[in-house]
């Protein structure tokens, strides 16, 4: 759910169960995005390390 959709929701009209379900759904999405971000950061770290290695080898020649 994007921020725009959240802005359209009238939280006053939601039942307690709906609020709880929305909260749970948003937390799951956040956790999934956080896991993806950690994976991307690790991949980026590996690519940066490979670039440094290639640059060192290229400078020697």
CA-nearest of 36, 24, 28, 26 to 2 is 26
Q: Which domain holds residue 55?
A: 15-60
Which residue's entry shows tokens 């759910």? Answer: 1
In a domain, 22, yes or no: yes
In a domain, 2, yes or no: no
Per-residue confidence (pLDDT) for residue 46, from 0 to 100: 96
CA atoms of 16 and 56, how far apart (whole Å) = 60
Per-residue confidence (pLDDT) for residue 7, from 0 to 100: 73
In a domain, 10, yes or no: no
Specify the number of domains making up the chain: 1
Residues 22-47 pLDDT 10s: 899 989 999 999 999 999 999 999 99
Render 3-56 in DSSP notation, one character per residue. HHHHHH--GGGS-HHHHHHHHHHHHHHHHHHHHHHHHHHHHHHHHHHHHHHHHH
């Amino acid at each position: 759910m994007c921020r725009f959709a959240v802005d359209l929701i009238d939280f006053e009209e939601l039942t307690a169960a709906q609020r709880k379900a929305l909260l749970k759904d948003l937390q799951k999405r956040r956790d999934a995005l956080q896991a993806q971000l950690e994976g991307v950061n690790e991949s980026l770290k590996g690519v940066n390390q490979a670039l440094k290695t290639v640059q060192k080898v290229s400078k020697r020649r």
